[in-house]
Each structure stands twice: as C-alpha cells, then as structure tokens.
A and B are shown apart, each in its own frame.
Chain A
Amino acid sequence: MNEPHNDTMDCTDIKALLSALVDDELAADQRHHAERHLTDCEGCRGLLSDAERYDALVAAAVADGPAGLPDGFEQAVLRRTVHAGRRPDAARGWLGWFAAAAIFIMGVTLWIIDHGARRAAEPSGEVMQATYPTGPEVKSWPLDEPRADGVEASAWPSLVINEVAVYPPDEPVYAARSGSESASVTTVAVLPRELDPRGRVLSRESAETIDAASMLLAMFEQGDDHSFSNVERVRRIAEYDDLLGRLADARDQLPAKDRPVIRAAESMLFRIVRGPLSLDDVKEMRHDIARLDLPKQIDAINGRMPTASSL
C-alpha cells in the first residue's frame, strides 16, 4: 500500500489522477508533487503525454469536418422556421387544425392504451406503484432463519405480504414480487429487477456514483498534510452532485457484506460536506482513507458487481 502524504507522488498516484492532471484539476501543491515525480519517471511522462496527444487527436478529428454548411441545410431550416408560417390560403390553416386535432386524439388514445397496459403488466424492471392487502397475510420474515435460496438474511426484507417481501419502514420500501392488486392500504414500490436481492445487479448510475466516490476520495487523500488541497473542490462536487444521497441508493443495491465499505466512504464524504474541517481533521481523514485503502476497496466492490464491468 502507498505511504500516504509523501511530498512526491508515485506511479500509482499519477495513474489514478491522470485525468485530473491532463485537465489541470489538481490543486497547486498536488500538481507540484506530480511534477516532481514526472521529472524522474519516464513512464509517467509518456503516459501523460499520450493522454494529452490523444485529446488533441480527438479535437482534430472532430474539427476535421467540412468548414461550410452542407448543401440545402440553410434552406431546410428556413423552410421550417422563417417560412413555416407562410401559407397560400386559409384552407391549409383548417387542414392544419384538423391534422393537429387528429394527432392529439391519437396521442391521447395511445397514452390510454399504454397506461392501461402498464397497470395490467407484471413488474418487469420498472418501478411501479401498487396496493397490497394487509391484515392476517402480513407476517414477519424470520431474519435469523437461513433462507433456502442462500440470500443473506440481513439483505432480505423483514416482512412478507402475500408473498410480497417488503423492507421495514425505516428502509426504502421495496417489494420483491407483486401480489394481486386490491383496494387495501399498503402502497409499495415494486422492486426493479436489477435491485432484486436474489440477483443483485448494480445499476449503471450507481456504479458510476461509486466510481466517482472512489475518485473523489483518492483526490482528497492525495493532498499533503499541511494543506487543504482539494478539500473544497471535493466538498463542492459531493454537495452539488448529492453524492451522499446517491451513494446511499447505491449502497442499497449492494450485498450486505459490501455495504460497510460504502458506509465508510459515506461517513468520510459526510464530514467533508458538513465541514468545517481543521487541518488536523483533514490530516486524520487522509490517513484513515489511506489506512483503509478506501478507494481500492470501493473499486473492488464495483469490480465485483456485474454492471460495473460495462462502465
């Protein structure tokens, strides 16, 4: 594991923060540390220059198209804008109204058909609302009893309503399977297929959230002990992105054994977002992140989940 907070970065740090280096997103002292390493490391210099070269090639490839507008482009736009209102006679106006009315009626009809179909459909990966009966059918799931299908008890809802598993009220309410709809009370969200605890698949958005948390914590960790480098930057991004809320959503999609790592990341990010932090706080947090090897652990979780491999 890296020794945290040396005055220079090593190859691992450079590679982890390559994009930030290319895009000049590092704080001044971090950039200084990076440059000290780059002076001595030919491999990292090559890595950085390749990344910059490819950026330039992408820019050139995009800019390499024709310099003028294609034939007929301007006329096509003018026909649909400036000249769109010019109609030769009033009859066209009436025809237009009839056409608009017909399209509106067709649209409403299609919406009604689609809406009806959605209501009738079994849940198939969409978040839906439905009502389920309560009363004698409601029973507690015995959490301490091992499940036949091998799902960890702590990852499984604590209530089962008519074969519909529901998380307790202090958790997000998800049902694992739909029951028959009735007029009674409990409203639940049907568990999207990708969130089904029996076959957990991380949504792409959550995988990217976890990825972002790892990257931000790596950025935070890399500042030296005597500065607030990137603290404000990380705080601002985490706050702007509502990263804590997103991370909590992502955590709910993970198996129980992986949640503590995300909780640790959340607590670090919470402290950063809540602020204010003293230099000692920052130093302690940087050491903790390095000691726990948090970015690596977070990446390992993402690597294990099916969706993340397609990022």
Chain B
Amino acid sequence: MAHAMTETKLAEWMKKLGPRLINVSAAICRDRHQAEEIVQEAFVKLWQRPPQAGEVAFPSWMRRVVVNLSINALQRTRRPGVLPDEISDPRARGRRGPDARCEQEERMQRIRAALDRLDESKRAILVLRAAEQLSYEDIATHLKVPIGTVMSRLNRARLALQEELKKDSGSAEDEPLVFDIRKYRSA
C-alpha cells in the first residue's frame, strides 16, 4: 500500500512547522536539544500515523503531540533545565542591529528566566495562550484538563509570571504590578 505521505511532503512540513515547534517545545521543557529530539519524534509519529482529517489538521495535531511530549519529557527527567540559548546560535544573530539586539536579548533572557522558574503546567499554559494564541478550549484539549482548570491555571500562571518578573526586576519602570485575587477578594 502506498504511504499516505511522500518524502517531499514530509520535508515541506518539517520546514514549515519544525522551527516554531522546536521553540514551543524548548519554552516548555527548557532544553533546546531535547526539544529538537521531541519534534523529530513528533514528525516520526506524523509519518507513521498522520491524522485522519488530513493535512489541514497537521499543525494542531503536531502541536498537541509536541506539547504532550514536552510535558512528559519534563515530568520524566525533573532536572534543572537548560535555558534555550539562541544567543549562541549563529542563525539567531545578525537579524538585528547590535544595540537593539542587546536590549532585546536582555529582555528575552529576563522573560525566559522568569518562565523557567514557573512550574511546567503554568509554563505550558502561558506558552499555549500567549505565544500560540490557542483558545481555552484548545488548551484544554492539548493539556487534557478541564476548561475551568485552564482558566484558573492561566490566571495563576499570569500572577506567578508577574511575581517572578518583579523579583527579577531592578528598575521601577519595569516593575510589574502584582496582585493576589484572594487578597483582594477578602479586602
């Protein structure tokens, strides 16, 4: 029986989805090398058993597989993660001017460091909502949790991120406002 996908198609999808998926996975599991392996694994799964809905479903199917593999990998290893380090990657350099690049890199490092200190469930939910722009329903499907949990966990994740950035921040300008729903509700 002929395979449902050709080599050319697979290569196209790798180029189209691969870099973004590696970034998402690296943001969740905090290890770019592991993220690359995870995304490779996801493409192998895509080749072996592509979603029945066809190519239109590939992006969301792949993202779901990658998110799940990333969370599983993190839960399995439970080791201090290695921050994704695009600074050392020559392909990430040179896209911006030196000053702008430094400033941007510093900002990105701060946000990555703050994300890194969140637990994996909060990190994953923030990445899926803020970076991937998924709806609550889609996040619930990806993470296999109820929608209500997505809502409350996302709120906690945003609070926790603000807390982490506040700890991290030395300048008043960048200092985020922090609030605690419970405190205000009881006020």
* A residues neighboring B (CB under 8 Å): 11-12, 15-16, 18-20, 22-23, 25, 43, 46-47, 50-51, 54-70, 73-74, 76-78, 80-82, 208-209, 211-216, 237-238, 240-243, 246, 293, 295-296, 299-300, 303, 311
Contacts and interface: CB of A to CB of B under 8 A. Distances in A.
Contact of A212 (B26, B36, B47, B148): B148
B148 A238 contact: yes
Contacts of A293: 185
Interface of A is mostly: helix
Contact of A54 (B7, B136, B161): B161
B146 A242 contact: yes
B185 A299 contact: yes
Contact of A58 (B36, B48, B161): B161
Contact of B40 (A63, A80, A208, A212): A80
Given A15-B181, A64-B108, 12 more contacts: A18-B155, A18-B179, A20-B151, A50-B162, A54-B165, A64-B86, A65-B84, A65-B86, A209-B148, A211-B149, A212-B149, A296-B182
Interface in B154-187: 154-156, 158, 161-162, 165, 176-177, 179, 181-182, 184-187
A51 B147 CA distance: 20
Nearest to A234: B148
A82 B14 contact: no
B156 A303 contact: no
A134 to B, nearest CB: 38
A60 B106 CA distance: 12
Nearest to B110: A57
A221 B153 CA distance: 20
A15 B36 CA distance: 38
Contacts of B26: 65
Contacts of B186: 296, 300
Contact of A62 (B23, B89, B184): B23
B165 A241 contact: no
B111 A65 contact: no
Contacts of A78: 7, 10-11
A243 B149 CA distance: 10
Contacts of A215: 148, 151-152, 155
A108 B148 CA distance: 40
A65 B83 CA distance: 12
A55 to B, nearest CB: 4
B78 interface: no
A15 B184 contact: yes
B69 interface: no
Nearest to A212: B148
29 contacts: A12-B184, A15-B179, A19-B151, A43-B177, A58-B126, A59-B131, A61-B27, A63-B20, A63-B131, A64-B86, A65-B23, A66-B19, A67-B19, A69-B18, A77-B44, A78-B7, A80-B40, A81-B44, A81-B47, A208-B153, A211-B149, A212-B146, A215-B152, A241-B146, A241-B147, A296-B182, A296-B185, A299-B181, A311-B156
A165 B48 CA distance: 50
Nearest to A58: B130
B67 interface: no
A77 B92 contact: no
Nearest to B45: A81
A144 to B, nearest CB: 36
B92 A66 contact: yes
A62 B24 contact: yes
Contact of B185 (A240, A242, A295): A295
A218 to B, nearest CB: 8
B176 A50 contact: yes
A19 B154 contact: yes
